[in-house]
Amino acid sequence: MPYQTINPFNNKLIKEYQTHNDQQVEEALSTAHALYKSDWAQGDIKQRVKVLHKLSDLMASRVDELAEVVSVEMGKLIGQSRGEVQICADIAKFYAEKAEEFLKPVPYKSDLGEAWVEHHPIGVIMAVEPWNFPFYQLMRVLAPNLASGNSVIVKHASIVPHCAETFEKLVAEAGAPKGAYTNLFISQDQVASIIDDDRVQGVALTGSEKAGAIVAARAAGKLKKSTLELGGNDVFAVLDDADIDKAAKAGAQARVSNAGQVCTAAKRFIIHEKVADEFLKKFTEHFKALKMGDPLDKSTTLGPLSSADAVKTLSKQVDDAVKHGAKLHFGGKKVSDNPGNFFEPTILTHITRDNPAYFEEFFGPVAQVYVVKNDEELVKLANDSHYGLGGSLFTRDLTRARKLASQIETGMVYVNSPTDTAAELPFGGVKRSGFGRELSDLGIKEFVNQKLVVLAAKS
């Protein structure tokens, strides 16, 4: 696909970008590998975290400017774009302050002698990243790897090239040497060649299940480690003792944030039968109150989908769900009287297990509502999914919440809150949602050599 900036609010082409040829790819690999071999990567961590401090300050000082880049290019509401820029600044600051502690040697008691594990960089990391959080996804990979000494090469999504280019310039402005972070506008075949290259020692991908399977297989074929953050079909469970007003409001926001284009968005709403009617009524009212419009307008509460193709995919999914017996409770169609990529906020009910919608991820403002009789049915339904990324539980009984949270097969569970993210908390899933973790102390250790050193005991 060509690298283009097309404003999803009006589908106007803003700019096309020149792709990188194989010679430029080789130059990028050579520079990145040389940097990994240098004192920059192998020496004192303080020189690297200094860059992260500067990067954090740069992004924090340019929130409005950078947020507009995101909103114009992929349609995120301007307030949410500002939030994305700020969390990027927070992640850079977090690793600037914590990386040295996370990477310090860890002693182990052993009869064999004095033993400890050191943490060393492993080389060039190839990252393939998606469009829905065009700065945040990049920062999740860059910050821990830059701190540890790995060089990062990134292929960003073809519909957010301005964000990709802007982020690369920010990293350079923060003082990172050439090769520490390189953005490439390349093809899938070029990505495969980079993964095959001996100088590349790790692969990180955030994206679709299909893309993850292809990239992971390629990396595995070369015996290289990969981390995958893929799709989700997250549950939003409302128990019979929950605050329904709070749950309905939080649930609506959790489904339509970023126009529903979030891997950890609430997608399957599992409601206890005693409160199902009340929840659905209030939930629907929140959907009815949404205002579609320009993402740069502060009064807009539902922006466009990222592309015309995204609208086509979502339309087909909803139509197929209804054909297979789902009931269209609200919405369900592309907005036809607007040149942008708008899709009505939609609620589907009465979805049976033989409906293709039951196992699919809907990447847009479409909610599925299920009704259960008890906690056992809730857990069974929640776990009957190919995915296992995040989830939310709403209840006043925290003992009950702790028990249920432990039983749900996901990488993350939030109680009385929509799924969220923070620099200090690990992010990742299980099943077809991928493997590995980003952020926190876990994220920085995914691509380091945890080297054991033993000084033999005196005999």
Cα torsion angle, 240, 246, 249, 254, sign: negative
Interhelix angle 161-173/63-74, nearest 10 degrees = 160
User: Which residue in 424, 420, 422 sits closest to 86, CA to CA?
Assistant: 422
Instruction: Write the single-letter amino acid at 101.
Output: E
Q: How far apart are CA 358 and CA 268, in angstroms?
A: 9
User: Which residue in 286, 435, 268, 440 sits closest to 367, CA to CA?
Assistant: 268
User: Which residue in 327, 367, 360 sits closest to 344, CA to CA?
Assistant: 367
229 included as an active-site residue: yes
Any idea of the CA torsion for 240, 246, 249, 254, to the nearest 10 degrees?
Answer: -80
Torsion angles phi and psi, residue 65, rounded to 5: -60, -50
Q: How far apart are CA 192 and CA 190, in angstroms?
A: 5
Given the residues 73, 229, 361, 438, the one annotated as active site: 229
Pairing of strands 3-7, 12-17: antiparallel
Interhelix angle 136-148/78-102, nearest 10 degrees = 10
Residues with active-site annotation: 229
